[in-house]
Each structure stands twice: as structure tokens, then as C-alpha cells.
Chain A
Amino acid sequence: MMKDRLEALRREALDQLETVADAAALNDLRVHYLGKKGQLTEILRGMGSLSAEERPIIGQVGNEVRAAIEEVISQKQQMFDRADTARRLQAETIDVTLPGKTPSVGAVHPLNKVAQEIEDIFIGMGYSIAEGPEVETDFFNFEALNLPKNHPARDMQDSFYITEEILLRTHTSPVQIRTMKAMNGQTPVKVICPGKVYRRDDDDATHSFMFHQIEGLVIGPNIRMSDLKGTLLQFVREMYGPQVQIRLRPSFFPFTEPSAEVDVTCVRCGGQGCRMCKQTGWIEILGCGMVHPKVLEHGGYDPAEVTGFAFGMGVERIALLKYEIDDIRHFYANDVRFLGQFARM
């Protein structure tokens, strides 16, 4: 009798749970059937009138009915929880395509960026960085570099003089002499010298009266032109990639002998020939040579004891080529639409 009532309760409860609509209704059903004053308790309250044999049997049936109902309630509860979470997440959805909050991004000037890159390559090759004054004496800028007064080669670099003996340096080469003098005859010397230089040139797309150079100087007891070639090859491969080649052409600088101009495989076309390299496959990037004996003497070295090589390049030229910039004047206008383009590693 009691067993039948329990089974009927189970059926009724499970039927109702089948169609329960939400978490509140589910809770009502739980209270209604399983609560302290619920239907199940109500039925089991009649257990006292049962015989000792029946009591455990009915007790077990009662437990089974409770478990069955709890099981379904629990399933339903989980279902409602999941739906609830899903609704909340849906409500919290944002537009991920709107822009993020980026910190403002600045940039190192492209000329300094390139100069630092070159510096780092040579630092890796064991070079120090030497710097010297931009306002120089005629002696350091010219005479000590084998460019005596009235030398025709002075035509190559029209200068900004301040007095007859003091001028804005026309190249970073005077730092060679200053470095040698500071070394007091010691070897090895291995430096690069970056800095601003000045020449009386009318500004146009490829000329600027102020520009930047990086000079290199190596002096030792047995420095050869083949070492110069090896050094430059290593440099350009670190700068432009392992596939590039260099080519030296004889040239003239008063402070080196032999002298050379150095071409590198055109970085744009890889040597196939293009507009940038004027179809030659080569781009001229620097001048170099073996340090002239007179220059060594001015630096306090005996040209019979030591030899050396030197090279110099224009930072603007390297940067123009690297970024394919069309006009050198961009570097000095400081238009932020230009500067902002170099905010990458």
C-alpha cells in the first residue's frame, strides 16, 4: 500500500520534472517533493504503522525514490546553470574589432637606427666606438690626413670655415688622427667613429650640407688589404644578408693608398639589375684603403713598423638604400609622419 504510494509519487515527480521550465520552478518541485514538509516525508511519516518486516523494505523503496528524484533534479539544475552562464556570457559580448588601448609608440631617428646597427656589427667584431669634435682644426681635418693647403683634393669637399684654422669637420676622418694620438703608438687600434659632418653643398634630393658618416680604422703590425676585404665582406653580410658580395674598385683618397670604392650586391634586385642600381647589379656604399704612410706618421706611428686600413661610409646613403627613401631632406625635416615610420625593431 505504502509502496504503491511511493511509486506513484516517483512517477508524478518525474513527470513534473520532465517539463520543469526554470530554476525557480525546479526549486519549488524540490521543496514540494523532498523538502522537510514535502510529499516524500509526508508518506514516510506513516512508516511507524508498519510491521518490523515491512519497515526496511519500505525504507529502501523510499530511499530509491528519493535518489531517483534527486538525480533528475541535479541534472536539471546543471542544465539550468549552464543555460544561465551561457546567457550571461552572451550578454557580456563585446566588439573585439574596436581598437585596443595601445601605449603611444615613438621611434629612434632612422639615421641613428642605422648607425646603431652598424655600430653593433662592429662591436661584435671587437671594435670600440671613438668620437671627436665636430668643430675641428684645419690640421686634424686636412693636413694630418695628407691634404695640405692648396691641395687639389680639397676641392672635393668645400668646407665651412669659422676661422682660417678652425672649421666644421668635413668628414669623420680627423677622429682617426685623434684616436692614433691617444693610443700613443700602441697597437692594435680597432675603432669606428660615427658622427655629423658638414660640407658646403646645395641641398637637393641626394645632398645635404650636414650629414652623418661612420669611419673605421684598424692599425697593427701586419694589417693587409686582404684583411680589409675580409672585414668589409663580414660587415656587409651581417648588414644585408649572407648572400651579398662586395667588389672593390680602385679610387683615390688622400689619406689612403691603395684606395678603393666598394660596391655591394644591389640589395633591391639581388644583383639582377634594377632601377636602383642603374642595371649594374651593384651599389656603391663606401670608400676605403690602406692608411697612407703620412697619416700614420701624423698619428705617431712608424709606417715601416705598422700598417692599417680605414673605411668610411655615409649613414644617409645606407639608410636611403635600406628603406628606399626618395629624398635625403626627409631626414632633417623631422616630419612626424616620416619619423613615425621607423617605429619598428
Chain B
Amino acid sequence: MNVSYKWLSDYIDLSAIPPEELAEKLTRGGIEIDNVPSRNQGVSKVVVGFVKTREKHPDADKLNVCTVDAGQETDLQIVCGAPNVAAGQKVPVALVGAKLPGGLEIKRAKLRGVESQGMICSARELGINDKLLPKELQEGILVLPEDTKVGDDILEVLGLNDSILELDLTPNRSDCLSLLGVAYETSALTGRPIRLPHPERELFSTTDKTSDHVSVTIHATELCSHYTARYIKGVKVGPSPLWMQNRLIAAGVRPISNIVDITNYVMLEYGQPLHAFDAAKVAGGRIDVRLAHEGETLLTLDGQERRLEPHMLVIADAEKPIALAGVMGGANSEVSVGTTNIILESAKFDGGTVRRTSRQLGLRSEASARFEKEVDPGRVLAANDRAAALMARYAGGTVMEGVAEAVVSTPEPVVIDLALSRINGMLGTHLSSLEVKTLLSRLDFTADSPENGKWRVTVPSRRGDITRDVDLVEEVARLYGYDEIPTTLIEGPTTTGALTSSQAIRREIRDALSHAGIQEAICYSVTSPAMAQLFPELTLEASPIALAMPMSEERSVLRTVLLPSLLEAASYNLSRKNNDLALFEIGSVYHTDEAVLTRLPREKPRLALLLTGNMRTASWNRKAEPADFYDAKGLLEAVFRRLGLEPVISFEAARPEGFHPGRTAAVKLRSERGPETIGYVGQLHPDLQREYDLPDTYVAEIELAPVYEHADQRIEFRTLPRFPSVERDLAVVVDTAVTGGALTEAIRGVAGALLEAVSVFDVYTGERLGTDKKSVALALVYRHGERTLTDEEVTEAHSRVLAILEQSFDAELRK
């Protein structure tokens, strides 16, 4: 809603409150004002001129030489290129020394040898939004009404000495979609009285009665509570007065004709949309408010043929629909130049039905926007009176006696019980009864005298948003000023704040990985159906959940697996030459068993990891270290170690789809429920690497719920060993298929309690060993907790180790 500051001052004295100050006051009071642009975009020394003569320029086809009386001592000779300039017009003339928007200054000039003492201006050159003007005025100079006075300042003539308050209204304050609403608000916030128009005083009686010409019936009583029609005869359709056009343009509404302009003017003034029908085209003088019939159509004013549906509310005459109630009029009853008699509609249509119809047809208008939010039932008739009075004055019409009207219900005034203790209790203030009553009365809310600190407050119909005591508390608070509310601390028992265990673990994982050099990513939770079906072992073959109305195919389903998002992020980075990537994400996947959701899906928190390029880049003293499987695995191991999960986690070779079959492990977690696979770590399958244009890439994805459940954050101190250990290394040649894990596990199984640790420290393959053979070197540490080991004890344990390696793995000891 754009409100002209000057127009607003018709209803309330704004002296000594400049527009910016008023905007600040309203904003701080809850009516947010984004901008206060001046209507004058930098125009000065532009006056009204009369074009006395127009001659062709002797040397230029497209130029005219005009003699213009601009109220100066002598007539001016002005060269003008506009096609529509003609003798006898009143036009805006920029005098020599005038300034125009954009910093243009008018100087005496010679155009193709002819002197020009000024410039005749178009609307655009004056900084006016000419999109709201007729086409011929957009293409040429602005032609002013004949009765405009020569020499008058154009700023006054076009109402440019004004500022616009650009309101950004919250949905509850539709009362301020009207000048009167803003005036009430201004009155409440400034304490100055409001001046209302009294159109009923202007309507003179005639013997001719409206009811003799129009009858109104509401059939759809649920959807229209009140309909009024006036009959105005003998109007002369023409342009509306310039001041009215100026105000409409200021509000962003296109001037059309006096009749239409008056309906729009009153809509802006009262917030009540009106519609004018050409009475001659309303068959039978009948106005029926009813639902559309199956198969009915209506050509609306925008020239579109609309197929109506039986839930749509229409205005119909004896034969046919003539308007979509509250949304748009029909071409078949449109006011045009030849129209002489008018049926003027002002009604209250149900907001829900207007909203539904306008959305369905894609027809949002100033009228529908107001009806949708429910218009003030108290202004239906007053707005009709006001428009009728203006039509009498500015369209030469005669308003017939009375209104044709149908009333389904008259709303009861809203009365709310309000207690002073409630106000002060909710706000933390110490307001007195008198203060509260004064604040409410500034809004024109009446509160009866308090009884035990309680009032019954009657709310005017314009404020349909006020329905309960807390609404009144807000009204009191905002008029009192939010700044005046004290600042206090919460009273009552203290509470201790803390992260839950899973929240703390999530942060730990984040810290562990970021400290290990991995960047945390956040990817979109919605993805394409194709992406949601990669990695079936990770999606658990859940079919992705689809959005009903996605914005694009790429973002049409909820993700069932995290990794594809990281693949996308990797592609994005690689295409920007960010070749060394180490990314992780902690996020949810969404799984359901249902084809159509009837209950909420499972949201499973997961960790995904992606490495490609170098883990460490080359430097002057160090070679680059390309990422490999063991980097990815090691990062997971580091996380598991921090979470005390190392003892229950194992990695086993696995071949899930989407991963390199020879370079992938299932991550297993052992618990009282037995071992469960909680994810995979491995190289991305070369096919996928090609598809995403990635070099060798290592990825992992694991479920976090079991990690949260089994993480063991206890630290148990173990006494430091007091006796020395004995270290023995050995190297065996085994088949390449024998895994390091199998060897160490077998060793742990037979070595007995003396074995403290065993680890692989070298793996070697080479021609000397023969194909399919490898050498594995292991370091074993023996120790006794209570005494120094003897050589015999160690040798005894170690020989068991050698024996099991020979027996189980056909291992050959390397000397």
C-alpha cells in the first residue's frame, strides 16, 4: 500500500510532522514503512504552458516549432519532437534554467538552426511513472486538462510536492489498506483527532428510488453477508479530475475514467472495493449473488474467457454472470464511454472464497487483496455513499433515493474482557487504569469504567484482527511504546543448560574431522530422483519421498543417502580447479516404507566423507600425498577412537554398489544385538568417477544413531607399566589374499596374555616372492604386568605365534 502524505493530511492534521518523521512514528508503532520517496524527483521551474501555434521545423521532419504562452513576459519559441504536440494544448513547459530528474538542466539552445527557449515535457521526463498513463501520453508529451491555468507550477498541478509512504503491512493489519485506516493509526500514535468524510450529507434526495430500478438477492448466504447497490443516472463518462488522477498515480493505480477512478479512489480511501456496472447491461435490473453454475463462462475485464466452477461466487443478472464477486468484473457489463446509468456495488464477500477463486484463476487484484483479508463490515454502505456522492459531483450523475440492499447478518460488535493485571503481568509494566484507558481511547476503542481493575472493551469493526485480550495487550504495548517496557530477568527456579549426549557427540565428530583438515559442507536435503537411488546399500532401497510441487527436477525428492550431494560438491569444486578436496557432512536422510506418506518418515542422521586429490600438497621439502583408502578409513578410525568405539568397530571387505569392489570395507559395529553394518568406506566406483568427472575419490557414509548410542566417553585410567617390554618382529610370506586383519587376529588368539600389542609395519610384494605372494612384517610387543619377562617365556609364546601362522596361512617365515 502506497499512501500519499498529502492525501493522508485530508483526514488528520500533519503539520510539524514531516513525512520521514511520520514514517518513523508509524514504523515504531507497528506499521512498517520501507521507504518515503518524494514524488518530486528533482523538478524545478516547470510551469503550465499553452501551445498557441505549431509549425513544422524548416529543416527537420520530426521536429515542430511551437509558440508557447507559459505566463512569461513574452511568448516562448520551443522546438518539440513529440508527435502528439498540437496547438491549443496545455502542456508542461520546462523554462530556461529548469531542472529535471537525473540532473538535466534546460538551457537556451538551437535545434537545427532554430532557437528553443525551453522544453515541453513528457510525463517520464517529469519523473512520473508513465506506465500508469495511456499509451499516447507515454509516447509523447503530457497533455494537461484544458482548465489548467497557464503559468502554474507543475509541481502543484501534478501533486508532485508530496511524499509517498510505502507501507509493508503484516497480514493482520489489512485495516491499513486504506487511507482512513492509516489515518486512525496516525491519530492513535500522534494523539491528533481524525477528520472523517461524511458523504451521506452530500446525497440529496430525488423522487426516483433505487429500489425501482435494482433488486438484490443473496443466494450464497455463507459467502456474502451484505450487498448494497446504488443507482446513479445520467452520468457522463470522461476523465476524472486531475487531482484525483494524481492521487491514484501516487498510489500506483492507473486512471481510466471518472467512474472507474472514483471506485478505485474510494477503495483506497475506505479499503472497501467497489464495482460499477453499466445499468443498461444488467438484465432485468437484477443482482443475484450466487455460486456459478456448471459450464458457465465469463469474459473478464482483462479480456480473458474464464471457465467458472461451481465453488466460485458470481454476481449475476437475470440471465448471466456479470462479475466474479470480489475478483474482477465482466466485460458484458463494463462501464464505457456511452454509459449513462450506473449500478454501484459495495459488498462484503467472504475472504476465503475470494482468495480461492483469485488464486485458482491467477487473478490477483487490489480488490481481491482486500476482500481476502476481510473488509470492514462497518464501511460497506459508507463507501457506497462516498462513491455515489463523488459520481454526482465529478460525473454529473444523479444519485437515486435509497439503496438496494441484502443483509444476511450484521456482525455483533466485539467486546473483550480485559484486566489491568493481565496487561502488567504480560508486559512487566506498571501501567495505571487511567493510562490504559487513555491509550485504548486513542484507538477509538471504548472501555467501560473499570470494576476491580477489569474492563469490557468494545472494538470498532475496522479492527477485525482484535479478538482476545492478548490482542488488546499488544495494542496497549505498542501505543505505550515497546521501548518503555522495562528490561528484566526471568524470575523463578534456575535451570542448567547442556547439550544432550548426541548433540555433544555430533560436535565432537565435527571438531575431530575439521581438526584433521576436513572441511564441513552443508548440502541441500532435496535432490533428483536419480541421485536418490545411487548407493542402494546406503539408501536401503527406500524409495525417495517426492515433493508435491517441486521447483525443479534436481530438487524434487528428499535425499535417501548423503554421498551424491558430496559428489556434486566435488564436481562443483573440481570445475573451479579446486583439485584437492576433503569434505564431510553431517545431515539427515529420509526413509519410509510407504508409497504415499501417512506418517512422518524416519530421519536418520549420518556422516559422509569424501577425499580426492592430495591429502597433503607438495612443498619444498615434502612430496604430495594423494588421498587413498587408508586416509578415509583412518579418519573414521580417529573419530571412533575419540568416541571410545574402537573396540567394537571392525572393517570387513565388502562390495556395495557404487563402490570399487576391491577397495571397500563395510564398517561393522558389535553390540549386544550382534554385529551390524553401520556404513561403508571405500573408493568410488570408477564408473561413477567417470560420470561425475572425478579422479580417484574415496568416500564413506555411516549411520550416526548407533554411534550416538554406543559411544563410550568414560576414560578409565590404567596404571603405567613398571616392567620392560620385549619386542619381537617377524616377517612371513603368505598368499596375497591373506589379510593383515586375519594375521593379527590369529596372532592375538594364540599368543596369550603376555602379548600386549601386534601391528603390521610393512607389506611388500615383488617378483622374488613369486606372483600371488606377499611379505607381511609384524611387530609384536610382549610384557608381563608384575615382573620382568624371561627369554624362555617370550620364546614360548612367540613359537605358538609362528606355528599358527604356518598352520592357518601356510606362512613361510622370512629369515
Contact = CB atoms under 8 A, between A and B. Distances in A.
A106 B581 contact: no
Contacts of B555: 209
B520 A108 contact: yes
Contacts of B490: 188, 218, 220, 223, 227, 230-231
Nearest to A294: B468
A273 interface: no
Nearest to B565: A334
A311 to B, nearest CB: 13
A252 B170 contact: yes
B511 A225 contact: no
Interface string B483-509: 101111111111111111001000100
Interface stretch (A43-51, A69-77, A81-89, A131-139): A131-139
A91 interface: no
A157 B645 CA distance: 43
Interface string B10-39: 000000000000000001111010000000
A109 interface: yes
A331 B576 contact: no
Contacts of B546: 162
Nearest to B169: A252
A51 B520 CA distance: 97
Size band of the interface chain A makes with B: 35 or more
Interface stretch (A15-23, A25-33, A52-60, A255-263): A255-263
B337 interface: no
Interface string A111-145: 11000100100111111110101111100000000
Nearest to B507: A116
B495 A336 contact: no
Contacts of A133: 600, 603
A175 to B, nearest CB: 13
B212 to A, nearest CB: 40
Q: Which of B468, B600, B615 has the most CB of A within 10 A?
A: B600
A14 interface: no
Contacts of B500: 128-129
Interface in B738-785: none
Nearest to A200: B551
Interface stretch (B83-91, B152-160, B286-294, B423-431): B423-431
A260 B492 contact: no
A92 interface: no
B669 interface: no
B717 interface: no
B357 to A, nearest CB: 13
A242 interface: no
A291 to B, nearest CB: 10
A107 B514 CA distance: 5
Contacts, number: 246
A333 B524 CA distance: 9
B498 A251 contact: no
Contacts of A332: 522-524
Contact of B519 (A136, A248, A292, A336): A336
B485 A126 contact: no
A320 interface: no
Interface in A205-262: 209-210, 218, 220-227, 229-231, 233, 247-252, 257-260
Nearest to B369: A152
A286 B784 CA distance: 64
Contact of A224 (B426, B513, B550): B426
A267 interface: no
A104 B616 contact: yes
B30 A225 contact: no
B704 to A, nearest CB: 13
A99 B518 CA distance: 21
Across the A-B interface, give the 4 residue pairs with the lowest CB-CB distance, nearest first: A226-B428, A104-B517, A250-B30, A252-B170
17 contacts: A104-B582, A109-B522, A128-B498, A135-B545, A135-B601, A188-B492, A196-B525, A224-B425, A224-B427, A226-B428, A250-B28, A250-B30, A258-B470, A260-B482, A290-B426, A334-B569, A339-B520
